[in-house]
Structure 1
Amino acid sequence: MSDFEKAAENVKNLKATPSDADLLEIYGLYKQATVGDCNTDKPGFLDFKGKSKWEAWNGRKGMSQDDAKQAYVEKVAKMVEQYGL
């Protein structure tokens, strides 16, 4: 199992729910790491959750998938320290 896959599993097992900002950050990094640059249209004005997730992912545009994986692993490690497993 790679560090990235282990981090993805750790996120599911945190003792507490991370803040919305942390969740959006790891969502954007995960999508960039697994898919690459955002390839979907921006959600409508009233889809607040979808719009936030899209912006978190699209904000990573141009970041390599390897860099996104590394940033994801580092962010999850900080969250594990903060929230515990």
Structure 2
Amino acid sequence: MTANTLQEAFDLTKRFTSKPSNEELLKLYSLYKQATEGDNNEERPGGFDFVAAAKYNSWLALKGKSKEDAASAYIELVNSLSTKYM
């Protein structure tokens, strides 16, 4: 099964039978956030919350990428991962 829209791709990730790697999860997260919210304008997480910091930095790295380009990249990534995790 392949996804053609952002929502279909998001729904497809819920049907993965095993968990993608942390690197793949970060890429999924950042592309989804960029596609749905645009550039990261949130406050940088502090302290020792390394997961939040990794998510923040991953999303920040996509600054300037259009929502449409991020959505296309997200859909492409989900379709690629679906062959591996379904």
Per the shorter chain, which TM-score range?
over 0.9
The percentage of counterpart residues that share the same residue type is 39
Instruction: Give the number of aligned pairs.
Output: 84
Q: Does 1:61 find its partner at 2:67?
A: no
Written as runs of structure 1 = structure 2, the 5 A alignment for 1:3-82 is: 3-82=5-84
- Report the CA distance between 1:45 and its aligned residue: 3.9
Provide, for residues 27-84 of structure 1, a one-character-per-residue CA deviation record: whole Å limited to 9, x for no partner: 0000000000001011114110100000111010000000000000000001101111
Q: Do 1:32 and 1:57's aligned partners in 2 also have CA atoms closer than 8 Å?
A: yes
Q: State the TM-score, normalizing by the size of structure 2.
A: 0.93
Q: TM-score under structure 1 normalisation?
A: 0.94
Unaligned runs of 5+ in 1: none
Contact 1:45 1:51 in 2 (8 A): no
Unpaired runs of at least 5, structure 2: none
Moved over 4 A (4+): none
